[in-house]
Amino acid sequence: MSNRKFTPYVLVLPAWVWLALFFVVPIGGMLSLSLTTGNVVTGFQQTFEVGNYAAAVSTYWEQILRSLLYGACATLVCIALGYPMAYWIAFRGGAHKSTYLLLILLPFFVSFVLRTISWRFFLSDNGVVLGPLKDLGLLPEGFAVLNSAPAVVLGLAYNFLPFMVLPIYAVLERMDPYLVEAAHDLYADRVQAFVRVILPVSLPGVFAGVLMTFIPTSADYVNASVLGGTHNTMIGNVIQTQYLVNNNYPIAASITFVLMGLLLVGIFSYARALGTERVMEVHA
Amino acid sequence: MSADVHTQAGAGGGAGNGTAPATARRRARRRTDWGRYHTWAVLAWLFAPIVFMIAFSFNDPAGRHNITWQGFTLRWYQNAFAHTELNEAMFNSVSIALLTMVVSGLLGTLLGLALGRFGFRGKQLTNLVMFAAISAPEVVLGAALLSTFLMMNVTTGYWTTVIAHVMFCVSFVAITVRARVITLDPRLEEAARDLGAGPWDTFRLVTLPMLFPAIMAGGLLAFALSIDDYIITSFVSGDVTTFPLWIWGATRVGIPPQVNVMGTLLFAVGLLMAVVNIAMARRRTATGD
C-alpha cells in the first residue's frame, strides 16, 4: 500500500495551496508594500524605505496606544461579566446549560455591523433610553453616551463577550466537581475553594478567552467609528482610512505591521508564560 | 465552534452536575443566587439592541431616522424588498456565503481528515498556520490580501471576496472536522475492510456518514462567518456591496426600516436553526446515540 503514504498530502494539498496563496503570501506582499515609496499616480517603487515605519509610528502612536488600552479595557470588562456567567452556567445551569449557551450566542446571529448600529440608535442622544430620562428631568439636557471612550469599550465588550464566556465555560464544565467537594472536606470555605481550586483549573480558559477577545478588540474599527465619534479613533480606523480612502499604501501597510508586531510580541510572551500548547489546545 | 458547544453541552447536560451533598448544603444556606441575577442581567444586555431592532422594524418613523417610536406599522414587512440595492447586497451576501460554505467545507473537511487521522511532514506547520489565520485580526487579513491584490494588479470584487472568505473559514471547518475524526472508532472502518469493502467504499459508506454532522456544523459555521463579515470584506470587495457593507454605507444618509426587517429575518433563521439543533441533540441523547 504505497499510495497510503501520499494520502495525507493529497488531502491537505488544496487547503495548503489556498492558505499559502491567500494568507502566507499576502503577509509577504504587505511587507513588501510597506517598504515602497511613491503614490497612486506615479506608482509604488520597491525602495526598501524603512522610514515608513518611523513615520507611521510617530504619526499614529496615539491611536496605537489607544487601541491597546481600549482592547485591554474591553477584555477586562469581558472577564468581569463573562467569568461569573460561565461559572454560574457550568455549576448551577443544571439541565438548562445548553439553553443558556444558546441564549448567549443568539444575538450574534444578527450581523455584527447591524448590532453595533442598533446600539448607536438605542443610545442616541434623544432616543428611546435617554430621551424619556431627559424628559423626566433625570438627566441633564446635554447628556450623551455616544461618542465617548466608555461607549467604544462597552461596544467592544458587547461584541466579543461570547469569546470570553465559551472557553471559560468549556474548562469549568469539564472540571471534576469532586475537586470542590474535596476542598470543602478539607475545611476550605467558599472563597478559599474558589481561589485555590476552581480558579487555577479555569485559568487556561481565561487565557484563551483573553487571546480571543484582546486580539480582535484592539484591532477593531467598527465600534470606534459607530460609537466613538471622531475623537476615539483606533489603529484599525487609521489602517482602513489609509488603505481605502487615502490610498497611502506604504504607510497603511507599515501601520498594519506595527499592529501585528505588537500583538505577536504580546501573544508570544503570554504563551511563553503559560506554555504554548495549553493556549493552542483550548483555543482550538 | 457554536455547534460544538451545543452538542457537548447537550450530551453533558443531563448528568453529573452538582452532587447530592452539595445541593443539600446550598439549600440549607438559602443564600441569594447572585449568579442567576448576574447571568440574566448580562443576557438582557446582550439582547437589548436586538429587541430594539425587532421592535423598530414595526415602527412608523417620521423622518429619515428610525430612532424614536412613532406608531405601529407592518408597512416595512410588506415592502421588505423595496430597495433594489439592498436586495442586491443581500443576494451577494447569501451567494458569497453559500459559495464559501461549499468550498471551505470541502477544503476544510479534507484538511481536518488529514490532521485527525494521519501523521505527515509539515503537520506542525499546518497547525501553526491555521492558528495564525484564526487569531490574526481581521484588519490584518484584509489589509494583507488587498496589498497583494494591488501589487498583482488584481481588480477586487465578487471573486476576491469569495477567496478571502474561504481563506478565513477553512481553518474553522478543519478544526470542527478534526475534532470528530479523532473521536471516531477505527474498528468500524476495520470491520468494513474485513467485510470486503475497498478504501473508497469504506470512506463513502462508513467514514463519511459518521463525519457528516461535523461537516454540516463546519459548513454552517463558515456560512455564518461569511454572511456576517464586514472588516475583511470592506478591504477586498471593490465595487461589490454585501449586506453589512450596504448598512455601513447607509448610516450616513439614514437607515431604512427594511434593514431592521432583514435583520429580524436573519435572527429568526438563526433562532430556527438553533432550536432544530437542540431538538436533534435532545433526540440523539434520548435514543442513546
Angle at A65 between CA A62 and CA A69, to 5 degrees: 135
Predicted TM-score of the model (pTM): 0.86
Torsion angle of the four alpha carbons A207, A210, A216, A220, in this order, in degrees rounded to the nearest 10: -160
Whole-number pLDDT of residue B29: 55
Residue B163 clears pLDDT 50, i.e. is over it: yes
3-class secondary structure, B212: helix
Within 8 A of A178 by CB-CB distance, chain B residues are: 19
The region of weakest confidence among A119-133, A231-245, B128-142 is A119-133
**Domain A60-283: what homologous superfamily?**
MetI-like (1.10.3720.10)
Residue entry with cell 484582546: A214
- Cα–Cα distances (Å) from B109 to A29, A142, B101, B201, B216, in that order, read 28, 55, 11, 18, 10
Share of chain B above pLDDT 70, in %: 88
pLDDT of amino acid A14: 95
**B203 neighbors B168 (Cβ within 8 angstroms):** no
Q: What is the pLDDT of residues A97-133, one digit of tens each?
A: 888 998 898 888 888 999 999 999 888 888 888 888 8
| Calpha distance A104→B39 (Å, rounded) | 10
The domain ranges of chain A are 60-283
Instruction: Find how far residue A156's CA is from the centre of its chain.
Output: 8
Q: Residue B117 pLDDT more than 50?
A: yes
pLDDT value at B159 more than 90: yes
Asked whether A90 and B35 are in contact (CB, 8 A), the reply is: no
Which among B159, B172, B183, B131 has a CA at the least distance from the CA of B237? B159
Mean pLDDT value of segment A216-231: 93
- Model confidence over B173-228: pLDDT tens digits? 999 999 999 988 888 888 998 998 888 898 889 989 999 989 998 999 999 899 99
Given the C-alpha cell 442598533, which residue does it identify?
Answer: A118
Cα–Cα distance measured from residue B14 to residue B147, given in angstroms and rounded to the nearest whole number = 51
Mean pLDDT of chain A: 89
Taking the mean position of all CA atoms in its chain, how far away is CA A267? Answer: 13
A36 backbone dihedrals φ, ψ, rounded to 5°: -110, 165
Mean pLDDT, range B15-44, rounded to an integer? 70
Q: Which of residues 172-211 of B touch A (CB under 8 A)?
A: 174-175
B214-264: pLDDT as tens digits: 999 899 999 989 999 999 999 999 999 999 999 998 887 778 888 899 889
Closest CA to B132 of A215, A164, A218, A71: A215
Nearest CA in chain A to B236: A244
Interface ipTM > 0.85:
yes
pLDDT band at A161 (very low <50, low <70, confident <90, very high): very high
Return the percentage of chain B with pLDDT > 90, whole number.
Answer: 49
Cα(B115)–Cα(B129) distance, integer angstroms = 13
Q: Using the beta-carbon criterion (under 8 Å), do B38 and A27 form an inter-chain contact?
A: no
| Test mutation, B29, B140, B236, B278, chain A, max A CBs within 10 A | B140
Residue among B56, B255, B270 minimizing CB distance to A109 = B270
The grid cell for B104 is 471551505
Q: Which residues in chain B touch residue A216, judged by CB atoms under 8 angstroms apart?
A: 137-138
- pLDDT confidence band for B14 (50 / 70 / 90): very low
Structural contact between residues A82 and A161, judged by C-beta atoms closer than 8 angstroms: yes
Please report the residues numbered 13 through 42 in chain A whose beta carbons come closer than 8 angstroms to any beta carbon of chain B: 14-16, 18-19, 22-27, 29-30, 32-33
C-alpha B289, offset from chain centre: 25
Let me know if B282 is exposed, middle or buried by CB neighbors in 10 A (0-12, 13-18, 19+). Answer: middle
CA angle (A28, A209, A170) in 5-degree steps: 125
Across the interface, do A181 and B22 touch by the CB < 8 Å criterion?
yes
